[in-house]
Chains A and B, each alone.
Chain A
Amino acid sequence: MKKRKTIYSLLLISGVLLISACSDNKEYETAICTLADISGTYAKEKKGMVKIIKAGIVPKLVPGDSLILMSIDSNSFNEENIKGKLKLDYRPSQANQQKLKFAQTLNDFANNESSAKYTDISGAMMLCSSHLKSTSAGTQIMFIFSDMKEELKPGIKRSFNNDEFENIDIVAMNVIKLNEDSANPQVFRSRIKKWKKRVLKHSAKSWNSSLDPTEISDYIDDKR
């Protein structure tokens, strides 16, 4: 009788240990948010950035990962700015089909010629941050395809929370130089520096503004 009790206790302990050893897959997943600037001069870069997303980011996604495409326009903190969402199935065959389908969404976005007068980068970043956090993914990356020159519409106010970008790696991709930047590189440098300071101040995990499109795959691998 005593022996049987011991066996039952051992089985119970093993069961509890096994259940506690089980963990959610989310902490091993990667959530990526891509912000595409469609305002002003950057709107011309749409096709180029879609190509980068298709060739550099989408193929690196593995089953369980998610990708959100958002546009940066005059008022970016709006659900309508979400142009596409992708959450890959755990079956590789399904995941491949989803990737191909999302590529079509990206193509549609590239072919859409709409553009915006103002550039609300902060609003898009805030929206992106809230979506990334909602995924609870272990790795959260935000790619911003923009010239990083913010021009807010009158009446729009943007301020980040202290933990706005907590656990998020932020990359400013394909930052093109404007005419004023070419005239005075310090303008460009100080703009980028200002962004770096701002995002790091609001708990961003890292900031990168000099990533080459060919290095995206390696960057994602490093962050996983």
Chain B
Amino acid sequence: MSSFYIWPDMPFLSIAVLVAASMIFLYLARTPLHLALDNLNDGIAGGLEKTADWIKSVVLKMQEKNRKVLLESNIAESEQKIAQEFKRVEASYTKHLADYPALHLKLDENITSIDADFKECGQVVPEAPGWNDAVESIASIKGSASGDRVIEKMLKELHKSAIDGEKTAIAEMQKISSKRHKILSSMAPAWKKILKAMSEVDTKISLVLETSGKIEKYMQEYEKVRSGGDDTIDMLSSKATKLFIFSIIVITVAGFGAFVNFQLIALPMSELVPAGTRVLGMHVSDISALVIVTLEVVLGIFLMEALGVTNIFPQIAGLTLGKRRMLLYAALLGIFFLASVEAALAILREHITATNAATTQALAGSVSTTAGVEGSKITVIGQATLGFTLPWILAMVAVPLEMLIESSQHVLSKLIILLVKLIGYLVGIIGHLLNTLMKTIIHIYDAYIIIPTQIGTLFKSKA
């Protein structure tokens, strides 16, 4: 510092002269320096501001693209759902309404039978002969009330004949009634059959209507998605995020399951695949165990694809029903085989563990007891069951895996957008801070040269 002093013996005077000289210089160079600082400010802060604006526009484009992707994927999903539901409706119609003509014929036959029976029941019962009218006519003949014996005899004969006729008519009527009752009672089973057939028709129609109802619901959803409003986007975004979180949880749990599965078979695999080499620091036997676990997941994916639960590979979805069925059986057989292998390995594992423990005990010099035999049997059964069950559970991982792949596209791009947005805000803030800093520097600069500025102003005003 002292090297800058004009008079090294007088530092204060030297500093004062330097300050004064710098003030005069800065005053004189005020305009070009102001311009330089302004340009620098424009360059840096302006550049940053433009960068922030560009980032904002990029964010908007990304958001729009994400929105389109979200809508398109959901439209495709809805269309797929509807197409699947149509297939189900077709299957439902084929299944439930296939025997409808036969049912209808049965119903017709029963109705015709009832109709015939009813007609038969409807036959008019023969009335008693018209004796009453005859008696009335004879009674109104002159002299009938005077005790004419001829008329009286005739009337008595008539009375007798009327009573006989009535008896015959009643007997005939009773006979006909009995016949009608018989016909009516024979109609009851036919009525029951009709009732049953109608009930069947009702059930089948309800099933068909239920399936059709789903289509209506999906169509409403489809319409809503196609409209692409803000509410729909929010709803779809929330749905995708929810799916993503849920599938992450399920996949994590499945990951732990795979780890348990791996631990269960890694040790016995070293008995089957003994090797003195490692790949990426892992025993070849461990890699073999890992391959088995991975194969289970892969077979599970094929199983779910063949069942039509997932739709990861369009080639599988496009296969004919027969080929898909073949794939399904192959996947099932593969998983069954691996599950059986794992169960056997689990038993072997228990055997190795028991041998290890026995060896350690023997080396330590203690006598092994048989107290743990029962316990070890339970352990063997438990491990074998676990070894057989875990592959089937792992096979199910295909469903959350598909969910994760589908939802991650949206969620990840949402996260990227958030990150880019954050960078944009940061660039904006830095730009603003630099702008303020440059302005402050200019103000400090002006403050530093305040004395020559004031003197200059004074001279200018006098002049």
Please list the residues of chain A having a beta carbon within 8 angstroms of any beta carbon in chain B.
18, 21-26, 28, 51, 54-55, 58-59, 63-64, 89-93, 96, 99-100, 103
Would A22 and B277 be within 8 Å (CB), given that A58-B363, A63-B270, A92-B271 are in contact? yes
Please list the residues of chain B having a beta carbon within 8 angstroms of any beta carbon in chain A.
267, 270-271, 274-281, 283, 285, 352, 355-356, 358-360, 362-365
A103 CB contacts on chain B under 8 angstroms:
362-363
B360 CB contacts on chain A under 8 angstroms:
59
Would A99 and B278 be within 8 Å (CB), given that A91-B270, A92-B352 are in contact? no
A23 CB contacts on chain B under 8 angstroms:
277-279, 281
A96 CA to B357 CA, complexed, in Å = 10
Contact (Cβ within 8 A) B274 A59: no
A91 CA to B278 CA, complexed, in Å = 15
Contact (Cβ within 8 A) B278 A92: no
Closest to B285 in A: A90
Closest to B275 in A: A90
Contact (Cβ within 8 A) A100 B359: yes
Contact (Cβ within 8 A) A59 B363: yes
Contact (Cβ within 8 A) A92 B356: yes
Closest to B361 in A: A59
Contact (Cβ within 8 A) A92 B267: yes
Closest to B274 in A: A90
Interface centre among B267, B271, B279, B363 (most CB of A within 10 A): B363
Rounded to whole Å, the gap between the CB of A220 and the closest CB of chain B is: 14
Give 8 A-B contacts (CB < 8 Å), ordered by A residue. A24-B276, A28-B278, A55-B364, A58-B363, A63-B270, A90-B274, A92-B270, A92-B356
- 10 additional A-B pairs beyond A91-B274, A93-B271, beta carbons within 8 Å, are A23-B279, A25-B275, A28-B278, A63-B270, A91-B271, A92-B352, A96-B355, A96-B358, A96-B359, A103-B362
**Among A18, A25, A58, A89, contact of B278 (Cβ-Cβ < 8 Å):** A25
Would A59 and B278 be within 8 Å (CB), given that A90-B270, A96-B356, A100-B359 are in contact? no
Question: What's the count of A-B pairs with C-beta under 8 Å?
Answer: 65
Rounded to whole Å, the gap between the CB of B354 and the closest CB of chain A is: 10
Interface centre among A89, A92, A100 (most CB of B within 10 A): A92
A217 CA to B63 CA, complexed, in Å = 59
Contact (Cβ within 8 A) A92 B355: yes
A91 CA to B355 CA, complexed, in Å = 12
**Among A21, A89, A93, contact of B352 (Cβ-Cβ < 8 Å):** A93
**Among A18, A26, A90, contact of B279 (Cβ-Cβ < 8 Å):** A18
Would A59 and B359 be within 8 Å (CB), given that A24-B277, A25-B277, A54-B365 are in contact? yes
Contact (Cβ within 8 A) A54 B271: no
Contact (Cβ within 8 A) B365 A55: yes
B277 CB contacts on chain A under 8 angstroms:
22-25
B271 CB contacts on chain A under 8 angstroms:
91-93
Contact (Cβ within 8 A) B363 A89: no
B359 CB contacts on chain A under 8 angstroms:
59, 96, 99-100
Contact (Cβ within 8 A) A99 B363: yes
Rounded to whole Å, the gap between the CB of B352 and the closest CB of chain A is: 5
In order of increasing CB-CB distance, the 10 nearest A-B pairs are: A90-B274, A96-B359, A59-B360, A25-B276, A55-B364, A91-B274, A54-B363, A92-B352, A21-B280, A96-B355
Rounded to whole Å, the gap between the CB of B457 and the closest CB of chain A is: 77
B358 CB contacts on chain A under 8 angstroms:
96
Closest to A51 in B: B365
A25 CB contacts on chain B under 8 angstroms:
275-278, 283
Contact (Cβ within 8 A) A64 B352: no
B355 CB contacts on chain A under 8 angstroms:
92-93, 96
Interface centre among A23, A26, A58, A96 (most CB of B within 10 A): A96
A18 CA to B362 CA, complexed, in Å = 42
A20 CA to B285 CA, complexed, in Å = 18
**Among B274, B275, B279, contact of A21 (Cβ-Cβ < 8 Å):** B279
Contact (Cβ within 8 A) B363 A55: yes
A21 CA to B419 CA, complexed, in Å = 36
Closest to B280 in A: A21
Rounded to whole Å, the gap between the CB of B366 and the closest CB of chain A is: 9
Contact (Cβ within 8 A) B270 A59: no
B364 CB contacts on chain A under 8 angstroms:
54-55, 59
Rounded to whole Å, the gap between the CB of B210 and the closest CB of chain A is: 52
A55 CA to B359 CA, complexed, in Å = 10
A159 CA to B96 CA, complexed, in Å = 97
A202 CA to B363 CA, complexed, in Å = 35
Closest to A92 in B: B352
A51 CB contacts on chain B under 8 angstroms:
365
Rounded to whole Å, the gap between the CB of B171 and the closest CB of chain A is: 104
A96 CA to B278 CA, complexed, in Å = 22
B279 CB contacts on chain A under 8 angstroms:
18, 21-23
A100 CB contacts on chain B under 8 angstroms:
359, 362-363
A163 CA to B291 CA, complexed, in Å = 43
A21 CB contacts on chain B under 8 angstroms:
279-280
Closest to B349 in A: A92
Rounded to whole Å, the gap between the CB of A30 and the closest CB of chain B is: 14
B283 CB contacts on chain A under 8 angstroms:
25
A51 CA to B277 CA, complexed, in Å = 33
B274 CB contacts on chain A under 8 angstroms:
63, 89-91
B285 CB contacts on chain A under 8 angstroms:
90
A28 CB contacts on chain B under 8 angstroms:
278, 281
Rounded to whole Å, the gap between the CB of B333 and the closest CB of chain A is: 30
